[in-house]
Amino acid sequence: MAESDFGEARFEIGAVISRVFETIGSNILLFCGLALVLTGIPQFVLQFWQAINFTLRPELTPGSYVFSSSYWSMLGISVLVGIVTGAILQGALTRAAVMHLSGERPQFGQCLAVGISLILPMIAIGLLSGIAISIAFFFLVVPAIILWLVWAVVTPVYVQEKVGIFEAFGRSAALTSGARWRIFLTMLIIGVLLWVLSIPAGFLTAAMMATGNAFLIALVGAALSALNSLVLVATQASIYVELRQKKEGVAPAELEAIFA
C-alpha cells in the first residue's frame, strides 16, 4: 500500500470525515428514512423473531437454538432479504450523498428509484468483492485488507460514472492508488466512532434483555444497524469525491454533469 503524491494536493482525512457528517446532517430525514426502511425494518423483524422464539425463552439453553432448523431457515431468509435491501440502500444512499456533495438536493423517491434500478449490479459487485476478499482473508489478513482498500470506491464509481461492473473495479483501483493508507486510516477512524456509539447501545440491549422486552431489544439492534449502514455508505461516497477532486481536479459541483 505504497503512498504517492497527488502533485500539490493530498487526500485529506479530516475533510473526508467532516464531509461525511455534514452530508448526513444536511439530509438527516432522507438518510435515516432510507436506512430504516431498507436496513432497520428487516433487522427489526429478524431480531424480534429471534428474541421471542429463542433469546428470551428461559427453558432453552443459551446458544442451543443454533441447532434449530427454524432458526437457520429464518436466518437464510433474512440474509436473502438483506442482500436485496442492502443493494438498494447502497445505490440509493450513494446517489444521495454524491448529489448533496455536488450541490444538488437529493429526494427520497428519486434516490430510492436509483437504488431499485441498480439491484442486480449492486448484488453482483457485493458478491464479487466479498468472495475475493474472503478468499484473500483465508490465506492472509493483509492481502484481504489491500483488496478491500483497492475496491473502496467501486460502488460510487459504478453508481455515478455509469461504467461496467468490471470496469468499476479497475476504476476504483486507479482512484485509490497512492491514497490507500489514508483511506485505511479514514475507515479506521469511522469504525472506532461507530464502535464507541455502539457501547451505550450494548448496555441498553443488556438492560432490555433483563426486562424481557423483545420489541425494544429488536428496536435498538435495528437502529444500530441502520446507523452503521448510512455512515459507511456516506463515507465511501465522501472518499470517492475526495479522490476525484484531488487526483483528477474534478470539483464536487462537476460530478453531476458526469452523471447526466
* Count of positions (residues) in the chain: 260
* Amino acid present at 100: H
Residue that has been written with the C-alpha cell 428487516 in this structure: 42
Is 5 inside any structural domain?
no
- Tell the burial category of 56 from Cβ atoms under 10 Å away from its Cβ (0-12, 13-18, 19+): middle
Is 82 inside any structural domain?
yes
pLDDT confidence of residue 188: 95
Domain range enclosing 230:
13-259
Beta bridge partners of 6: 9
Is 156 inside any structural domain?
yes
pLDDT confidence of residue 2: 46
Model pLDDT for residues 80-99, shown as the tens digit of each residue: 888 888 889 888 988 888 88
Is 2 inside any structural domain?
no
Taking the C-alpha atoms of residue 245 and residue 239, their distance in angstroms, rounded to an integer, is 10
In this prediction the pTM is 0.82
Q: Which residues, given as ranges, of the chain have pLDDT below 50?
A: 1-2, 4-5, 7-8, 260
Is 198 inside any structural domain?
yes
Count CA atoms closer than 13 A to 167's CA, side-chain side: 8
pLDDT confidence of residue 8: 45
The residues near 93 (Cβ < 8 Å, ≥ 6 apart) are: 31, 34, 35, 111, 115, 229, 230, 233, 234, 237
pLDDT confidence of residue 221: 82
Of the candidates 258, 229, 234, the one whose C-alpha atom is nearest the C-alpha of residue 244 is: 258
Residue that has been written with the C-alpha cell 503512498 in this structure: 3
Number of domains the chain contains: 1
**Phi, psi at 82, each rounded to 5°:** -65, -35
The radius of gyration of the chain from alpha carbons, rounded to an integer in Å, stands at 20
Is 42 inside any structural domain?
yes
Cell of 186: 479514514
Is 221 inside any structural domain?
yes
Is 6 inside any structural domain?
no
